[in-house]
Amino acid sequence: MTSNATAPDGAAVRLTGLRKSFGDVHAVAGVDLHITPGEVVALLGPNGAGKSTTVDMLLGLTRPDAGDVKVFGRTPRQAIADGHVGAMLQDAALLEDTTVGESVALIAALHRKPMPVADALTAAGIADLADRRCSRLSGGQKQRARFAMALVCDPDLLVLDEPTVAMDVETRREFWRGMQRTGRTVLFATHYLDEAEQFADRVVLMREGRVIADGSVADIRSHVTGRRLTAVVDGADAAVLSALPGVTEVAVRGSHVTLACADSDAALRALLAAEPSARDIEINAMSLEDAFLALTTEGAAR
Amino acid sequence: MNPRYLALECRRIIRSGRFMIFSLVMPAVLFVLLSGLYGGKDARYEDGASVTAALMVSMSAFGAMSAALSTGARVAVERGGGWQRQLRLTPMSASTYLYTKVIVAMLVSIPSILLVSLVGAVFQGVSLSAGGWVVATAGLWLGALPFAALGLLIGLTIPADSLPAIMGVSSMLLALLGGMWIPAQVAPGWLSAIMKATPSYWFTQLGQSALYDNKHLVTAIMVLAAWTVVAGLISARRFAGSAARA
């Protein structure tokens, strides 16, 4: 990082009371978010939760109906003009008639203190594709080219909207390895829970335009307590299983049984006594996905 | 204004097949063919102008016009494909984006004029006064400005997928009605009234001033300036409108 962006309050990003409606749809209905420099934050939520609209307002691409956006203490436009923000948009296309190197060079030429184009391509893992026409890239390669364009201004804050869409598992892992090496403040929107779990310091969960949970992965996970027990039980009877001590929820598919347990030890002992045929037993902690589902459906029921 | 960005943008245009064919190869080849057919060494129009010289100026104008027009129109592709959104994440302002397109359009129309003029001077034996050469090169170049603005307007209005068809038809019509391919003198009265409404007719008139003392020169300059201002203003309005919606 060459620039030293500082805000009076030390925040990389500060969103206050952000709102945006499209007609009757409240895409963003009051979002407050404070990101300190160096944090890697995942913005998580189902489709239509308001993630992309929030990102667009953060970048000054959409004007909020109400609320305030500050990036390193400036307006988004000023922060971008000063070269503090690099962003990878979901729908931003590449120029079909240029090579990857030329596309990145065009963006670099517009910034005041860009990094060398070759460095950006290397960091994005596409140094070998510099001379490839953008029209001849695979989906994953296109995403990496977009990442190189986000990176070439050498930003303090990287904003990534669904960055690993169209990447296969191996490419995705590599992408994140590259990302972590850059050591910048990162805000990324995703719907891959494992990505948030593995790569974010902090998870912000959105639903229906609001932040419904904000904390470390462990914090979010603690919203769902207990463990999950799976087993194979011949002639499993849901009524019998839900009467077992410590069991809160039962799902039966043929002889495959999943029990959500408040007390998995008690449930296991009772299960083995009541159903001697029970076998292939596994007990796991609830995952971030369980927390995600619990939090998003809980909200929907309200 | 950023020279490196300009250079990269010009390179994109110049190496495209469309530019090569319509702005470089076709004007030069047509010039050689037509002057072979009608030119002869001493062929002259009734007004005394050399046919070969007139063809040279017309083909220079045609090349410059299609270069300027199609460069501006390519905005449609960048608009549809989301590249403009990417550019909004750079320090470049929206108005600089538009100005840059006009400058690029003007820069890439230079090779068209130079190539045809060179062919005329070296291979076709066209001789003009010093002032005539200035009008046939620098004068034509400046006269291409309304077509850069017009191209921009097309690019901001037409969706990208219908662009090739629209561009093909509009540059053909402008060339025909402008008297670039067939001299305006042979047109019947009703047609010449339509021709005089096009910017390309006056662009050709501007070029013809290189050959003789054209009494319509001032009118030509005024009409071309008016087209530039009108197309430029409408483009700016459209662009501001689309930026506000986003």
The two most distant CA atoms of chain B are separated, in Å, by: 60
Same domain? For A160 and A187 the reply is yes
User: A168 to chain B, minimum CA–CA distance in Å?
Assistant: 24
Domain boundary among A169, A199, A221: A221
A91 to B82: CB separation less than 8 angstroms, yes or no: yes
Residue A248 lies in a domain: yes
pLDDT of residue A2: 41
How sure is the predictor about A172, in pLDDT bands with cuts at 50, 70 and 90?
confident
pLDDT of residue A3: 46
How far is B66 from B61, CA to CA, in rounded Å?
Answer: 9
How far is A179 from A171, CA to CA, in rounded Å?
Answer: 12
Residues A74-79, mean pLDDT to the nearest whole number: 94
Is the CB of residue A58 less than 8 Å from the CB of residue A52?
A: no
Between strands A66-71 and A13-22, the pairing is antiparallel
A296 CB near a chain B CB, below 8 Å?
no
Give the pair of three-digit tokens for residue B191. 């047609």
Residue A188 lies in a domain: yes
Collect all residues of chain A within an 8 Å Cβ-Cβ radius of residue B87: 107, 110
A91 to B85: CB separation less than 8 angstroms, yes or no: yes
Residues B103-109, mean pLDDT to the nearest whole number: 95
A110 to B5: CB separation less than 8 angstroms, yes or no: yes
Q: Which is nearest to A158 in space by CA: A166, A148, A150, A169?
A: A150
For chains A and B, count residue pairs whose Cβ atoms are closer than 8 Å: 68
pLDDT of residue A301: 41
B4 CB near a chain A CB, below 8 Å?
yes
B100 CB near a chain A CB, below 8 Å?
no
Out of A227-231, A253-257, B107-111, B186-190, give the one with best mean pLDDT.
B107-111
Is the CB of residue B149 less than 8 Å from the CB of residue B102?
A: yes
Same domain? For A72 and A18 the reply is yes
Collect all residues of chain A within an 8 Å Cβ-Cβ radius of residue B88: 60-61
A55 CB near a chain B CB, below 8 Å?
no
**φ/ψ of residue A286, rounded to 5:** -65, 140
More confident residue, B147 or A198: B147
User: A107 to chain B, minimum CA–CA distance in Å?
Assistant: 7
B95 CB near a chain A CB, below 8 Å?
no
User: A93 to chain B, minimum CA–CA distance in Å?
Assistant: 5
Residue in chain A nearest B7 by alpha carbon: A106
Residues A79-91, mean pLDDT to the nearest whole number: 90
Residues A30-58, mean pLDDT to the nearest whole number: 91
- Domain interval for residue A271: 227-285
A128 CB near a chain B CB, below 8 Å?
no
Residue A8 has pLDDT above 80, yes or no: no
Interface test with B, best of A110, A112, A149, A151 (most B CBs within 10 A): A110
At A99-145, the pLDDT tens digits run 999 999 999 999 988 999 999 999 888 999 999 998 898 888 888 89
A106 to B9: CB separation less than 8 angstroms, yes or no: yes
pLDDT of residue A169: 80
Residue A255 lies in a domain: yes
Residue B153 has pLDDT above 90, yes or no: yes
Regarding an ipTM greater than 0.95, the answer is no
pLDDT of residue B41: 65
User: B92 to chain A, minimum CA–CA distance in Å?
Assistant: 6
Residue A70 has pLDDT above 90, yes or no: yes
pLDDT of residue B58: 93
Q: Which is nearest to A176 in space by CA: A19, A61, A42, A9?
A: A42
Same domain? For A26 and A71 the reply is yes
A92 to B86: CB separation less than 8 angstroms, yes or no: yes
Residues B45-55, mean pLDDT to the nearest whole number: 83
User: B42 to chain A, minimum CA–CA distance in Å?
Assistant: 45
How sure is the predictor about B104, in pLDDT bands with cuts at 50, 70 and 90?
very high
B90 to A61: CB separation less than 8 angstroms, yes or no: no
pLDDT of residue A298: 58
How sure is the predictor about A6, in pLDDT bands with cuts at 50, 70 and 90?
low
Q: Position A254: which residue type?
A: G
Residues B90-117, mean pLDDT to the nearest whole number: 93
How sure is the predictor about A5, in pLDDT bands with cuts at 50, 70 and 90?
low
Residue A241: exposure state from Cβ atoms within 10 A (0-12, 13-18, ≥19)? buried
Average pLDDT of chain A is 86
User: Which of B8, B77, B81 minimises the CB distance to A105?
Assistant: B8
Collect all residues of chain B within an 8 Å Cβ-Cβ radius of residue A85: 89
How sure is the predictor about B49, in pLDDT bands with cuts at 50, 70 and 90?
confident
User: Which of B77, B83, B91 minimises the CB distance to A80?
Assistant: B91
Collect all residues of chain B within an 8 Å Cβ-Cβ radius of residue A57: none
Q: Position B152: which residue type?
A: L
Q: What is the DSSP letter of B42?
A: T
User: Which of A62, A85, A110 minimises the CB distance to B2?
Assistant: A110
Which residues, listed in sequence order, are joined to residue A260 by a DSSP beta bridge? A228, A249
pLDDT of residue B1: 61
pLDDT of residue A18: 94
pLDDT of residue B45: 77
Residue A302 has pLDDT above 50, yes or no: no
Residue A63 lies in a domain: yes
How far is A29 from A19, CA to CA, in rounded Å?
Answer: 5
Q: Which is nearest to A40 in space by CA: A268, A156, A199?
A: A199
Between strands A247-253 and A279-285, the pairing is unpaired
Residue A290 lies in a domain: no
Out of A214-223, B57-66, B74-83, B89-98, give the one with best mean pLDDT.
B57-66
At B190-245, the pLDDT tens digits run 888 899 999 999 999 999 999 888 888 999 999 999 999 999 999 988 887 766 55
Which B residues 124-163 touch A at CB under 8 Å? none
pLDDT of residue A300: 47
Give the pair of three-digit tokens for residue A198. 């593995």
Residue in chain B nearest A91 by alpha carbon: B82
pLDDT of residue B244: 55
Same domain? For A166 and A278 the reply is no
| Domain CATH code at residue A280 | 3.30.70
User: Which of B81, B91, B246 minimises the CB distance to A110?
Assistant: B91
Residue B51 has pLDDT above 70, yes or no: yes
A171 CB near a chain B CB, below 8 Å?
no
Residues A35-43, mean pLDDT to the nearest whole number: 92
Average pLDDT of chain B is 89
B86 CB near a chain A CB, below 8 Å?
yes
A80 to B89: CB separation less than 8 angstroms, yes or no: yes
A75 CB near a chain B CB, below 8 Å?
no
B2 to A109: CB separation less than 8 angstroms, yes or no: yes
A98 to B4: CB separation less than 8 angstroms, yes or no: no
How far is B230 from B238, CA to CA, in rounded Å?
Answer: 12
B8 to A87: CB separation less than 8 angstroms, yes or no: no
Q: Which is nearest to A146 in space by CA: B198, B82, B176, B181?
A: B82
At A269-279, the pLDDT tens digits run 999 998 888 99
Q: How many structural domains is chain A composed of?
A: 2
Is the CB of residue A245 less than 8 Å from the CB of residue A263?
A: yes
At residue A259, the 3 state secondary structure works out as strand
% of chain A surpassing 90 pLDDT: 44
% of chain A surpassing 70 pLDDT: 94
The angle formed by the CA atoms of residues B153, B156 and B159, to the nearest 5 degrees, is 125
Residue A78 lies in a domain: yes
Same domain? For A175 and A269 the reply is no
Residue A146 lies in a domain: no
How far is B217 from B201, CA to CA, in rounded Å?
Answer: 12
How far is A227 from A11, CA to CA, in rounded Å?
Answer: 37
